[in-house]
Amino acid sequence: MKTKLALFGGIAAIITVGSILAAQAQSAALTVSCAGAVTGNQVTWSATTAGGNAPIALLWSGDSTVGGQTSTSFVSTYTTNGTYTAGIEATDASSSVATSTCAAIVSSNVPPATTSTLNVVVSVNNTQGGAATPSAFTVSVSGANASPSSFAGSSTGTAVVVSGGATYSVSASSVANYSMSTSGNCAGPITAGTADACTVTETFVPPSNGTTTLPRVNPASLQIGPNGAFISRGMTVTSVSANSFQAQVWGITYTINWSGNVFPQFLLRGGDNTTSTTNPSQQLHVGDEVGVAGRVSASNPLVVTAEIVRDYSIKMPRKDFHFDRGLGNGFGLFKGPDDHGNGDNASNTGNGTSTPPAPDWGSRINDLFNQLRNLQNLFNGGHGGDNGGHGNGNGH
């Protein structure tokens, strides 16, 4: 009996130990968690388990880059920005199951281009006078969701974003005496994702201030002396620049120059002349009839340095310039057939209109002597007595 009891006791002891080992083998409950780490447009999915009985199997669920994965960690690549969710299921050797979900946000993808860029430049041409700058013009871009749609002009350009493929148009505000023209891509559309440019050119057109172009009065004439003395009437202005203009006579185009602030004496058809600080280029218009006295360039026979310029096409100053009544009033070299006297009579108001003097023969003789004296001064002083080019003055 003792042996049996001993064996029974041994068995009991063995059973007790087995129970303890079994209890120790049953670990904590199975758990699982997951996470998504974002790098650019890629997500690294990873899972972590705890508890349960090994081995533990994993199964992922989610989008096509996630569903069916069984590894602890893997990488998904996404081409569209958004929030992506993954599920993880863990099953241990005792068939215990644990689940979890996790999410990741992708925001680094660049969407396809839907807009274009238009660089709008404003260029101002003030060669005929004027002082406006590009910022004086307000540019408008209409259509195509333009941004900005209105802005001050700039010589370096303003970048405007417009919807790709949409129609737009560029315009500018009106400023007195300026005429607008455009070049480049100033009317859309532009292909999405590309860039283009539009240039708005504002050109100053001198106002007439009530003056009208008068009929031509002189037949074309041209005389050039051996020392370069130049006299021409009936010339037609073909272009005007800041310190010069071009005029044509007998089919020949001459460039008439002056330099710096040293201007030629500028005479009007009616006899008045400008002050010495008035720039003739601000009075001349293309198409004007002019007379020019000066000297031909020794290096270029088609370039003349002007000493006197008379505009037969105006009788009063353009653009509100003020004129004096000094040397040259009534100077006969460039007078037209409708001029009267020397412009010094009381009836001459100085506004470009003259009326004949009273029928006083003494006054008329004095006027004639004054004109001859001015003519003599011009040839003796202005042209150095160039008898080869101008004779003794009787030819003019």
pLDDT bracket for residue 203 (50, 70, 90):
very high
Average pLDDT for 340-359: 39
* pLDDT of residue 375 exceeding 80: no
* pLDDT of residue 36 exceeding 60: yes
Does the domain at residues 221-390 carry the CATH identifier 1.10.3470.10?
no
In angstroms, the CA 366 to CA 263 distance is 30
pLDDT value of position 242:
83
pLDDT digits over 225-234, tens only? 888 899 999 9
Q: Say which CATH architecture domain 31-106 belongs to.
A: Sandwich (2.60)
* 76's tokens: 């998904």
**Higher pLDDT pick, 326 / 131:** 131
Reported residue count of the chain is: 396
Average pLDDT for 68-93: 94
Q: Please say whether the beta carbons of 237 and 246 come within 8 A.
A: yes
pLDDT bracket for residue 390 (50, 70, 90):
very low
Could you please report the per-residue DSSP string of 68-132? T--SSEEEEE-SS-EEEEEEEEEE-TT--EEEEEEEEEE--PPPPP-EEEEEEEEEEE-TTS---
**Higher pLDDT pick, 268 / 163:** 163
pLDDT value of position 354:
41
**Higher pLDDT pick, 112 / 244:** 244
Percent of the chain, pLDDT > 90? 48
**Higher pLDDT pick, 72 / 6:** 72
pLDDT bracket for residue 39 (50, 70, 90):
very high
Average pLDDT for 233-252: 91
**Higher pLDDT pick, 3 / 270:** 270
Q: Taking every pair of C-alpha atoms in the chain, what is the biggest distance, in angstroms?
A: 181
Q: What is the pTM of this model?
A: 0.36
pLDDT value of position 241:
87
Q: Please say whether the beta carbons of 190 and 116 come within 8 A.
A: yes
pLDDT value of position 6:
43
Average pLDDT for 65-77: 95
195-199, 323-327, 357-361: least confident range = 323-327
pLDDT value of position 342:
35
